[in-house]
């Protein structure tokens, strides 16, 4: 903290906002390869929560990499900074009382550990969208794997950049074995069972 910065405590806090909203606030953090299904599942989970009357907001590549993180690429250093800033934004959303949905490749354990440190371990639910590289490459939703294989994209996760799977995620979703609807149900059930919603 810079020495001339003095934090001002506001009287209205997260707990006031949670009380008015009628629910807790936390982050659902989706990690997985490109094309694994993060955005598809995150989108449906948000819809389900929203129509239950829960205040939600989704952070994703569109509103982050074309806005606050415009200019950051995919080197190890840029991904670190990308995820650090996203974590800081997510923390603000949680403080504002919102259930925050974040879907990012977030390939390194160390970067995800940092995200948990920033957000707060108790406020982050890690969801590993576990889809094999082979399946993601078969799907190749955006045609990026083809380009990465052809050497047109460098540092592509799973091809010439690493993906380190979470060792102990709160939830692990195998999109080859279960449908989108079942994945969403698995997440909503977990939130209800753990009394998050
Ligand atoms: N080199 C490389 N590696 C991985 N992904 C790439 C790359 N270049 C572009 N893209 C596209 O950017 C999306 C990943 O951005 P993220 O912000 O989630 O990445 S990271 O968490 O900082 O690693 C990712 O989106 P999703 O497919 O939705 O995961 C890709 O479409
Ligand atoms: N069970 C499943 N869960 C999620 N996505 C699935 C599943 N089966 C097939 N898909 C498809 O896989 C693709 C995943 O793309 P996307 O959600 O953009 O992935 P990501 O956000 O991880 O890059 C979509 O075209 C989706 O329809």
Whether 15 is in a domain gets the answer: no
* DSSP structural state of residue 99: E
- Is 2 domain-assigned? no
Q: Structure pTM?
A: 0.97
Residue 16 belongs to some domain of the structure: no
Taken in order 140, 143, 149, 154, is the CA torsion positive or negative?
Answer: negative
- Domain holding 70, by residue range, is 22-193
Give me the number of domains the chain comprises. 1
Exposure string for 112-134, b = 16+ CB within 10 A, e = fewer: bebbbebbeeebbbbbbbbbebe
Strand, helix or coil at 57?
strand
Looking at residue 118, which CATH number applies to its domain? 3.40.50.300
CA distance 173 to 189: 13
Does some domain include residue 101?
Answer: yes
Residue 6, pLDDT score: 87
Contacts of 25 (CB under 8 A, 6+ apart): 14, 17, 18, 55, 93, 94, 95, 96, 97, 98, 99, 100, 123
Give the closest ligand to the alpha carbon of residue 185.
Answer: 2
Domain assignment of residue 52, yes or no? yes
**Residue 1, pLDDT score:** 62
Candidate from 40, 103, 182 with most ligand 2 atoms within 8 A of CB, to mutate: 40
Would you state the pLDDT for residue 7?
A: 86
Choose among 127, 102, 114: nearest CA to 184. 127
Identify the pLDDT of residue 63.
87
Q: What is the structure's pLDDT at 61? A: 80
Active site residues: 106
ipTM score for this prediction: 0.98
Q: Whose CA is nearest to atom 11 of ligand 2?
A: 37
Does 146 reside within a domain? yes
What does each of the 197 residues of the chain score in pLDDT, given as a tens digit? 668 888 888 999 999 999 999 999 999 999 999 999 999 999 999 999 999 999 999 998 878 999 999 999 999 999 999 999 999 999 999 999 999 999 999 999 999 999 999 999 999 999 999 999 999 999 999 999 999 999 999 999 999 999 999 999 999 999 999 999 999 999 999 999 999 99
4 in any annotated domain: no
Point out the annotated binding site for ATP: 32-39
Asked whether residue 14 is assigned to any structural domain, the reply reads: no
């Amino acid at each position: 903290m810079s020495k001339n910065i003095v934090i001002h405590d506001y009287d209205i806090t997260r707990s006031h906002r949670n009380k008015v909203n009628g629910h807790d606030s936390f982050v659902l953090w989706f990690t997985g390869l490109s094309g694994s299904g993060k955005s598809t599942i995150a989108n449906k989970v948000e819809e389900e929560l929203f129509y239950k009357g829960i205040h939600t907001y989704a952070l994703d590549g569109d509103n982050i990499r074309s806005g606050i993180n415009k200019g950051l690429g995919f080197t190890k250093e840029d991904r670190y900074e990308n995820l650090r800033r996203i974590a800081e934004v997510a923390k603000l959303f949680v403080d504002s009382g919102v259930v925050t949905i974040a879907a990012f490749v977030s390939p390194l354990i160390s970067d995800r550990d940092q995200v948990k440190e920033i957000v707060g371990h108790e406020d982050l639910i890690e969801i590993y969208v576990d889809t094999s590289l082979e399946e993601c490459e078969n799907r190749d939703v955006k045609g990026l794997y083809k380009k990465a294989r052809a050497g047109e994209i460098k540092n592509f996760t799973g091809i010439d950049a690493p993906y380190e799977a979470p060792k102990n995620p709160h939830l692990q979703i195998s999109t080859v074995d279960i449908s989108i609807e079942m994945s969403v149900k698995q997440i909503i059930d977990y939130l209800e069972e753990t009394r998050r919603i």
